[in-house]
Structure 1
Amino acid sequence: MSQRNNISDLFELVTTAQARHAGRTQISENYWHTSNLERTSAPPPHPIACRSQDTGQPRIVLGAVVRDDLCPGTRKLMDIVRAPQPQYRQARFADIEDIAAIEAEVFAEPYLYLMLRQLYDLHGSDWLVAELDGRVIGYALTLHKAGRALLFTFAVLEQYQGKGYGRALLDHMLQQCRTDGADVVYLTVRPDNQPAAALFKQAGFEFVEHDDQYFGPGEPRGIFEYRLRSRHLDS
């Protein structure tokens, strides 16, 4: 699984070449920062700021290499921003092989190709994939009935997890469900799958109930819902 916040929640985009930290200006026109950045020869496309832990004031990242020890987490967040962005589109028949490979990598009990083929025949129009460099790296399949959409299967290749692709895929899936007229999107999560539960909560899903035998004896699941008609997707 993967997750991210909106860029506006992680960074502040700054439109000037100066910022004040601890009462003094820390960036000049030649992109020199005295406390948390190393000098570089050229400015980046956009100046970016993160919050200082001690003062709460912005620290500008402008034409510099971030020192993560002084601005914790910033390097990882900048990597997410710079990561190549997939194309999110409806699944095609030719994608089934890639989807089957993701199933085999991510799940202990993956859906076999023949099952995926049947699902595609019945619900291909509701299958969303993330394609990067000509390869499907993630997918989300929803099943619709009477205004409710079940997120039936959802996964991202392990090497692309933690880069924001899973969260972006969820956002696209929710938007598509809204366009298709769904009022509620729901899903189930194993109680021991905390990374998945955390990602869904971050995306706006709310825990509804726990069912000890959702899939039979010894197969408990937590049930989560996202109410499309009562909120905006960017809330």
Structure 2
Amino acid sequence: MSGEPDVVVRRADGDDLVAVVDIGRRTWPVTFGPIAGEDYVAMGLAKWWTQEATIPAIRQGRVSVAELGGEVVGMSSVGMNDHKLWMWKLYVLPEHQGAGVGGALMRAAVHKAAADGYDELWLSYLKGNDQAAAFYRHHGFTEVEEEHGGSGLPDSIVARRPITPEDATA
């Protein structure tokens, strides 16, 4: 990929399980602690960042990893909900953020969505996560709605990006 010769994005396999879970365990506290608090972080780690929760997505081919110098430093995961393709996760280890890893993961996800015939990609992020908002805007996402968390959960922003025929060749 131009501009990031060292970033390799590939489909995750069983050998990546520990690295994928580690990415979540290392990124969630620094990303969401200041926005949503320690209880939210603990809940998310227990629910979404365990080996048991991650194995099905890897087996179904829905997880990609990004490597720098042979080390897994980022991951993304997609899946269907309400007949829409959603990006459920996109995380890069804090010490590798800003190096093009997230962009490489996003471009790979958009390219695969286009190749698979999808016409849009959806995601959500926590309200107040200004870094995520700027990243997603940069990659063509527009805000669709705000969802109120309720029951002590933080509010989130739902965004979508149209997939174009050019995305299949990019």
TM-score over 0.5 for the alignment? Answer: yes
- Retained in 1: the 8 A contact 2:127–2:154? no
Match of 1:226 in 2: 161
Q: Which amino acid aligns with 2:157?
A: G
Identity %: 21
The superposition leaves residues 15-48 of structure 1 with CA deviations (integer Å, 9 ceiling, x where unpaired) of xxxxxxxxxxxxxxxxxxxxxxxxxxxxxxxxxx
Change (3 A) 1:180 1:216: farther
Long gaps (5+) in structure 2: 29-40
Pairing 1:1-235 to 2, within 5 Å after superposition: 81=3, 84-107=5-28, 108=41, 109-110=44-45, 111-121=49-59, 123=60, 125-144=61-80, 148-213=84-149, 217-229=152-164, 232-233=166-167
TM-score by length of 1: 0.58
Distance 2:157 2:163 in 1: 20
Indicate the SS of the match to 1:87.
Answer: strand
- Retained in 1: the 8 A contact 2:144–2:160? yes
From the CA coordinates, give the structure whose radius of gyration is larger: 1
Change (3 A) 1:218 1:92: closer
- Retained in 1: the 8 A contact 2:78–2:85? yes
Count of aligned residue pairs for this structure pair: 152
The superposition leaves residues 108-158 of structure 1 with CA deviations (integer Å, 9 ceiling, x where unpaired) of 33211221123323x3x1221112222211111100357621101110111
TM-score by length of 2: 0.79
Moved more, 203-212 or 109-118: 109-118
Q: Which amino acid aligns with 1:148?
A: K
- Retained in 2: the 8 A contact 1:191–1:222? yes
Indicate the SS of the match to 2:86.
Answer: strand
Distance 1:113 1:126 in 2: 15
Distance 1:179 1:99 in 2: 24
Q: Which amino acid aligns with 2:27?
A: V
Change (3 A) 1:179 1:146: farther
Greater RCO structure (CA 8 Å; 6+ sep): 2
Q: Which amino acid aligns with 1:86?
A: V
- Retained in 1: the 8 A contact 2:23–2:91? yes
How far the C-alpha of 1:209 sits from its partner, in A, is: 0.7
Match of 1:63 in 2: none
Change (3 A) 1:136 1:96: same
